[in-house]
Amino acid sequence: MDQGGERAERQPIERPVAAPDRLRTRVTAYMFIRLVLVTILFGIAIWTVLTVPQSLLSLGGIFVLAGLTFLFMGLSAALVRRWGNRRGFVLTQLLFDALLITLLVKMTGGRHSIAHVFYIVNIAGAAYLVPQRLAGIVVVGANAVAFAATTVLDALYFSPEATAAGVIYVDVLMRMLGFVVIGFLTNRLAVRTQQADAALLRQQETTRVLEEEHGLIVQSVLSGILAVDPGGIIRSANPAALARLGTCEGRPLSAVMPGLRRYKDGQEIVVWGPEHSLTLLCYRSPLGDVGGEVVVFEDVTELRRYEADRKREERLAGVGRVAAGIAHEIRNPLASLSGVLQLLAEEHEGPLLEIAQRETLRLNELVSDFLESARPIELRRQPLHVHALLDEVVAAFNRDPRYGELVHIVVDEEGDDEAELDPARLRQIFWNLLLNAAQAMPEGGLINIAIRALDDLIVIEVQDQGSGIAAEDLPKVFDPFYTTRQGGTGLGLANVDRLVRLHNGRVSVRSVVGEGTSFVLEFPRRSAAPAPVQVSVPGEES
């Protein structure tokens, strides 16, 4: 595997060399070996002449032979690039060498010359260069005939009595048989070697293709894949893993995926990606004798978020039904109680009656809100500038005597923030978030609001300097009736979440205890069919 940096580098497998190219390479090597041997023989002849000058007469033929050989090799070297892949050219080289060996044997003692061994070298060279049966037979036959002719003629001239006795013929036949055996064995070995090389090249090609296919699969799968060495260091990662975890190669697995247990399938952990936290479903597999392991993971963040939304919707639906029932039952006796208090207030004046009337009115408004929440919300979208509507809400909030002088609100806008939204519902969202931020700072503080306009989204971030929310409480802040504030009903943020999702938007929260909380809202610029949202209960901020 490899990317990005990925990554464990794959060693490229060398592609098989074509047969003609291999033949040309072998012929070139054979010609070089011949050049070395002839040069050595030529050097020995020169050294002999320099040491024993009178030997020049007997060695003169060797110098002529060396000159012819160098001339032939020069011509062959000029033609090898064009004709080196032709078997006829190769056979010409071998037959010339057989002639060269025969002349050398003749000049160095005939049948008693030690140069006979070069016939074997020539036969082995034929098996190396052209391991075909016909070519082997031709070369073996040529060497055997040349050897027999040289030996028999030499014996007839120098040892007629040995020739008459048949000793020479037996010796020739035995050596010729040896040539045949050597030719057969070397040819057989060369054929087997050639077959093994071809099989190896095919296997290399197959391995290369499989490796490329494997690499393409690993690079293309949507699941993240990490290769970890025996020391626990991430060796490589596929693009899906890099997209979710960022640059992780060379880092310890325990640092990238803290809490991942060893060899337990289906582990679900939460890690921090390049931008936000991720929920990953992980599988670990050891690599056996190779050492290390492979970690495969699926990003189930959106799935878990969807499941949480569905559970929240179910709870909101239940709350709506209960609220509607309770509010309906409370409203009638509440109306009677309000009438009685009004009659008492006409007959008797006093602060206690005023308080009772005010709280009764407040309770009646709350019941009305409950009943209103039991009805589906219909958005009235219209084009608006978010910052203009936000300025109105901030101005109204600053006039609230409870918080106007304690908190300072700063709005930062960037780009064209026009979008199709419901202004009444957007005011309700902003008011609840400002109220939540102010209540989180009882001693006062700063509320920063940033509006960023993207291509298709309007992103709004509301950040306070309050006490913050504990990590274990963050997943529950949008649940109805969940609150950590004394006297709160836990309905404000649930209503914010409901209204944002009704706009096909999304709200998320980040918080650090002791530093503050940030709510991020994302709204699409253009209206679309709203997602179905179950009934919730509006009310005070959590």
- Give how far the C-alpha of residue 134 lies from the chain's centroid of Cα atoms, to the nearest Å: 53
Q: What angle do CA 484, 485, 487 make, to 5 degrees?
A: 130
What is the number of alpha carbons within 13 Å of residue 295 lying toward its C-beta? 34
Looking at 13-17, 89-93, 140-144, 236-240, which range is the least confident one? 13-17
Mode of pairing for the β-strands spanning 457-463 and 516-524:
antiparallel
| pTM across the whole model | 0.42
| pLDDT tens readout for residues 231-258 | 889 888 888 888 888 888 888 888 888 8
Q: How far apart (Å, rounded) are the C-alpha atoms in residues 431 and 408?
A: 15
Strand, coil or helix: 108: coil
> Other C-beta atoms within 10 Å of 72: how many?
19
Closest alpha carbon to 523 in 429, 396, 431: 429
| 434 against 455, higher pLDDT | 434
The beta strand positions in 244-318, using DSSP E, are 267-272, 277-286, 293-299
What is residue 463's predicted lDDT score, i.e. its pLDDT?
92
Q: What is the pLDDT of residue 461?
A: 94
Signed CA dihedral, 372, 378, 382, 387: sign only:
positive
Q: Tokens 């990606």, residue?
A: 273
Q: Is the dihedral of CA 473, 475, 478, 479 positive or negative?
A: negative
pLDDT at 361: 74
Look at residue 517 in the predicted model and tell me its pLDDT: 92
540 has pLDDT over 60: no
pLDDT in the model for residue 357 = 72
The tokens describing 182, both together, are 């050597």
What's the whole-number average pLDDT of the chain?
Answer: 76
Q: Which residue has the higher pLDDT, 84 or 75?
A: 75
* Most confident among 299-313, 393-407, 498-512 (mean pLDDT): 498-512
Q: Are 502 and 429 in contact (CB under 8 A)?
A: no
Give the model confidence (pLDDT) of 459-472 as tens digits.
Answer: 999 999 988 888 88
The model's confidence at residue 4, banded by pLDDT at 50, 70 and 90, is very low
| Cβ atoms within 10 Å, residue 412 | 11
Structure confidence at residue 374 (pLDDT): 55
In the chain, CATH 3.30.450.20 covers: 224-299
Residue located via tokens 């309007």: 458
Report, as an integer, the average pLDDT of 377-406.
Answer: 86
Question: Has residue 70 got a pLDDT over 70?
Answer: yes
User: In the prediction, which pLDDT does 319 show?
Assistant: 67
Range 386-412 average pLDDT: 86
Give the whole-angstrom CA distance, residue 285 versus residue 477: 38
pLDDT value of position 133: 63
What is the reported pLDDT for 448?
Answer: 93
305 three-state secondary structure: helix
- The fold of the 303-373 domain, in CATH, is Helix Hairpins (1.10.287)
Range 439-458 average pLDDT: 89
**Which regions of the chain carry the CATH code 1.10.287.130?**
303-373
How is domain 224-299 classified at the CATH fold level? Beta-Lactamase (3.30.450)
Mean pLDDT of 220-228: 83
For residue 329, count other CB atoms closer than 10 A to its CB. 11
Q: Please tell me the predicted confidence (pLDDT) of residue 522.
A: 93
* pLDDT score of 439 more than 50: yes
Q: What mean pLDDT do residues 518-541 have?
A: 61
Bigger pLDDT: 57 or 29? 29
pLDDT at residue 316, rounded to an integer: 67
Q: From the CB of residue 150, how many other CB atoms can be counted at a distance below 10 Å?
A: 23
If one compares 14 and 168, the residue with the highest pLDDT of the two is 168
State the pLDDT at residue 464: 92
Residue 512's beta-bridge partner residues? 516
CA 397, 398, 402, 406 torsion-angle sign: positive
45-51: average pLDDT: 76
Q: Which two tokens stand for residue 236?
A: 């490589």
Fold (topology level) of 382-524: Heat Shock Protein 90 (3.30.565)
Which pLDDT belongs to residue 76? Answer: 78
Could you tell me which of 80, 192, 103, 90 has the C-alpha nearest to residue 138? Answer: 90
Per-range mean pLDDT, top range of 122-126, 131-135, 281-285, 382-386: 382-386
